[in-house]
Amino acid sequence: MKDRWSEEELRAVVVAYREMSHKEAIGRAFVKSQYYKELAERFGRTAKSFEYRMQNISYVYDQMGKPWVKGLKPAKNVGTRTAELIEHIISEIERRDVDDKVAKLLPDDSLTKPAGVRSPKQTTVPTMTYERDPDVKRWVLSRADGRCECCGELAPFTNDKGCPFLEVHHLRTLADGGSDRVSNVVAVCPNCHRALHFGAERSVMLEQMYEKLSRLEQE
């Protein structure tokens, strides 16, 4: 019997929830139970469990001051870690949507110059952090020797201490239960780091690193 929800599952539920929310906003009909059924078939849980998780998402949306889908009354009984992860996923997807809208506008030379905002509104969003072992980071960066362990290219620049700039990345995220060990951590350039989080080919990139670096273990 499954109990702990992975980040992949939560992300899929948030995406489905946002799709329903969008349809509701534009007055397009949809069947909630069909979403629960599809998610259940995909992840091997009951449709009822996905319905309740949707109510948890409604609770998080409500806490964020955002409207929630009608008929999915906010359910408060959600663990702190899960609630924070759901909020992180929502915020991440919303930022990506904004980036996508901006990208679609970039080639348009007919756009009017926007006025912008002189004093942007401040928003406080609670985040969850994990304590990392500095020795693991130091070892991985030293082992990389200034070269990205993903693409193989040299670090794009040196930092203010004169060291090649690479970032550490956990192949299985800490939020998804990944370990902070050298068998789960790589040193990568900023481009590869973003691609590993948001790129369409991130699963392929992961497999290539597992094959290339013998110290890595799939968790």
Write down the mean pLDDT value for the chain. 86
Return the amino acid letter for 145. Answer: D
Question: Which residue, of 67, 89, 105, is where some domain finishes?
Answer: 105
Q: Are residue 76 and residue 159 in the same domain, yes or no?
A: no
Measured CA to CA, the distance from residue 184 to residue 198 in angstroms comes to 19
The tally of domains found in the chain comes to 2
Q: Quick one: 101 and 38 in the same domain?
A: yes
Domain that holds residue 68: 7-105
DSSP letter for each residue of 22-34: HHHHTT----HHH
- What integer pLDDT is reported at residue 144 of this predicted model? 94
Q: Are residues 151 and 206 in the same domain?
A: yes
Within-domain flag for 34: yes
Query: Per residue in 180-217, pLDDT tens?
Result: 999 999 999 999 998 888 788 888 999 999 999 999 99
Same domain, 82 and 148: no
Q: What is the pLDDT of residues 149-176, one digit of tens each?
A: 999 999 999 988 888 999 999 998 876 7
Give the model confidence (pLDDT) of 104-128 as tens digits. Answer: 555 556 667 778 788 887 766 555 5
pLDDT at 78 > cutoff 90 = no
Strand partners, 187: 168
Residues 156 and 198 in one domain: yes
97 with 18, same domain: the answer is: yes
